[in-house]
Amino acid sequence: MLLLGMTTTGFRLVSDQELEKIRSADQGPAIDPAQVFEQRLVPWATQRAMPLSKVLAAIDEKGFTAACQSNGVQTSQAFPCTFWVKVTGTVKQVARGSRVGRVSLETDASRQVNLMVGPVIPGTAIRDGFPEIKYSDFSNQNSFADFADGLNQQVEQVIERHGELSAGQSLEAVGAYATWDGMDRSIDVVPVALHHQEGH
């Protein structure tokens, strides 16, 4: 197949191969979500994360906007604020009735805390909470969305590597809590690191 292309002197025929090269050049280099997750995001999040109880206390004391500015990540008003949190607690219930699975934890937080364990991880909290990767790094909105999906797939692998989750287990997790106002009745955390609590 040949297509017409504009040149400085008029039109010329463009082959399928040339068209593919043009499209590839526009897209730029692909960003590997697995590599970003393991090598950059998890170490960064682990270092930045605060105990969830302290994050909630900061929201109560400072107000949501100030707490987000000092402790959270919000790239624009189009996205919620993402807080990177550390959660330690005992599994109360494992709810796998839907593909968006949740593990309810007994913690020292003042509200119900859930870990999102899939097999489907909803939302874009992981992508939006990592400021080192921006929308401008991608050629289009679809690529940006695909990157978020790729990061969520890495979360699924974290859950799978951990093994079976059951009531009574003591867990430590580092994850993303995305919120518009900090007033959620229950806290949904997307984990990027998950371990058995030492001594249990």
Residue 25: band (very low, low, confident or very high) from pLDDT cuts 50, 70, 90: very low
Least confident range from 46-50, 86-90, 162-166: namely 162-166
Q: Which amino acid is at 174?
A: V
- Average pLDDT value for residue range 13-31: 58
SS (H, E, C) the chain: CEEEEEECCEEEEEEHHHHHHHHHHHHCCCCCHHHHHHHHHHHHHHHHCEEHHHHHHHHHHHCHHHHHHHHEECCCCCCCEEEEEEEEEEEEEEECCCCCCEEEEECCCCCEEEEECCCCCCCCHHHHCCCCCCHHHCCCHHHHHHHHHHHHHHHHHHHHHHCCCCCCCEEEEEEEEEECCCCCCEEEEEEEEEEECCCC
CA proximity to 31, closest of 168, 156, 159, 127: 127
Q: Which CATH superfamily is domain 31-196 in?
A: Nucleic acid-binding proteins (2.40.50.140)
- Global confidence as pTM: 0.82
Taking the C-alpha atoms of residue 85 and residue 48, their distance in angstroms, rounded to an integer, is 8
For the chain, residues classed under CATH 2.40.50.140 are 31-196
Spatial contact of 75 and 173, defined as CB atoms under 8 Å apart = no
What is the tens place of the pLDDT at every residue in 71-127? 999 988 889 999 999 999 999 999 877 888 899 999 988 889 999 998 899 999 999
